[in-house]
Amino acid sequence: MQIEDVWIRKVFTGRGDVTVEVELTAEDPTTGEVVITRAAAPAGASRGTHEVAYFPEGGVDAALAAFEKLVAPEIVGLDVSEAYVVDGKLEEVDGTPRFERIGGAVAIATSFAAAEAGAASLGVPLFSFIGGAYTRKLPLPLGNVIGGGRHSRGLGPDIQEFLTIPLNPPDIFTAVYTNVEIHKRTLKYILKVDSSFTGGKNDEGAWTPRISSHTALKILREVAKEVEKELGVEVGVGVDVAASSLWDGKKYVYKNEGAERGPREQMEFITKLIEEFDLVYVEDPFHEEDFQSFAELSDRFRDRLIVGDDLFVTNSERIKQGGMLKAATGVIIKPDQTGTLLRAYQAVEIAKRYGMRIVVSHRSGDTEYRSLAHIAVGFGADIIKTGIMGGERTAKLNELIRIGDYLGKWASISHIR
């Protein structure tokens, strides 16, 4: 099928930020069959220094103009069944490593829409189009239960996310349900330590009480044990420190705790958290340029997931650098950080080459589109990080359940421990 026409419009993310949505029409010239697909770019509140430029200079209106002038004329006529051709053309027309001319938002929305059209043209699900006919592994859902840091406007704990993950669920529905139950029950435990808490949530639907990081982890561990006992599913607890947002160039500043920690103190602080709360997942424990501290922590805890997000930003060269240094045991993959599905796929391949686990992730300002569930399955991800509550989060989790039903008895569930 060939692309016959394309449109672009301004829309909103779940956080209320302006983003772009690309819509395209593809037609089979021999049969006249037509498919129409669309996709929108998510937006992160905290963006790594090495991510692609979200919009070109001039903002969203400049992005729309760049699409009309540079992208649309070049992709009309391309065959959507060969998605790498569309992604390659996006790189060609932009001509910069960070998509500074057309913007990463335009690039990823176009890439997503083309992939959806390619899957439709072949009559296969998007995850099969991305990963191949034998794709069948479902990722474990990683959910944000208590939120702090920048995602909570500094009103919660200094650590950005307190997470849970079901480790041995019998099926994907039970995996999702486990996190949902933990999220629901956590409110009761928060009220025990803060009776004035009014149930506030952050951008990702996580509870945002005014409590310390230690209190948040104590609550989460207690709720997890309660749900473990009832459902018979082992639950792991984790954190996303988002340390780059705490780093002032010399030390890590924990404003709500009234603490400042140098690099060595940060290492010991994170080590104690892992040991005290048996954390199975630790994301961005150090700032985005500190490969050496990542490597030291990963060496100490080879049996845990020490994961880089801002460290890698889905950038193949940075992932390769981290792999050579053994800086992490897991890597966050956010396709919008790098601009196209092709680039994200290449990043996944490099990460796997160095033995890193794949964590396909949403953004804090995500959209209602379900594509991320298919991308996670298509990439063979071990984990999908896409929140627990909220329409744009639930859309991906419900789609994961549908994919599980589609695969039926052939589905397998990832195991990380």
Residue 415: the pLDDT is: 87
CB 115 within 8 Å of CB 126? yes
395-408 burial, b at 16+ Cβ within 10 Å, e below that, comes to bbbebbbebbeebe
* Residues of the binding site for substrate: 151, 161, 283, 309, 361-364, 385
Amino acid at position 152, single letter: S
* Residues of the binding site: 151, 160-161, 240, 283, 309, 334, 361-364, 385
Q: Is the model's pLDDT at 416 over the cut of 90?
A: no
Domains of the chain and any CATH numbers: 2-123 (3.30.390.10), 131-413 (3.20.20.120)
122 DSSP 8-state letter: H
Q: Residue 27: which pLDDT band, with cuts at 50, 70 and 90?
A: very high
Q: Residue 417: which pLDDT band, with cuts at 50, 70 and 90?
A: confident
> In residues, how long is the chain?
417
> What pLDDT, in 10s, does the model give residues 164-195?
999 999 999 999 999 999 999 999 999 999 99
Residue whose pair of structure tokens reads 């296969």 in the numeric block? 124
Residues annotated catalytic, as ranges: 204, 334
Contacts of 18 (CB under 8 A, 6+ apart): 10, 11, 12, 60
Residue 47: the pLDDT is: 72
* Residues of the binding site for (2R)-2-phosphoglycerate: 160, 334, 363-364, 385
Host H or E run for residue 147 = strand 140-147
Residue 156: the pLDDT is: 84
C-alpha 384: how far from chain center: 7
> What pLDDT, in 10s, does the model give residues 241-267?
999 999 999 999 999 999 999 999 999
Longest alpha-carbon distance in the chain: 68
pTM of the model: 0.97
Q: Is the model's pLDDT at 46 over the cut of 90?
A: no
* Residues of the binding site for Mg(2+): 240, 283, 309
CA-closest candidate to residue 79, choices 117, 108, 113, 109: 117
Q: What are phi and psi of 14, to 5 degrees?
A: -65, -15
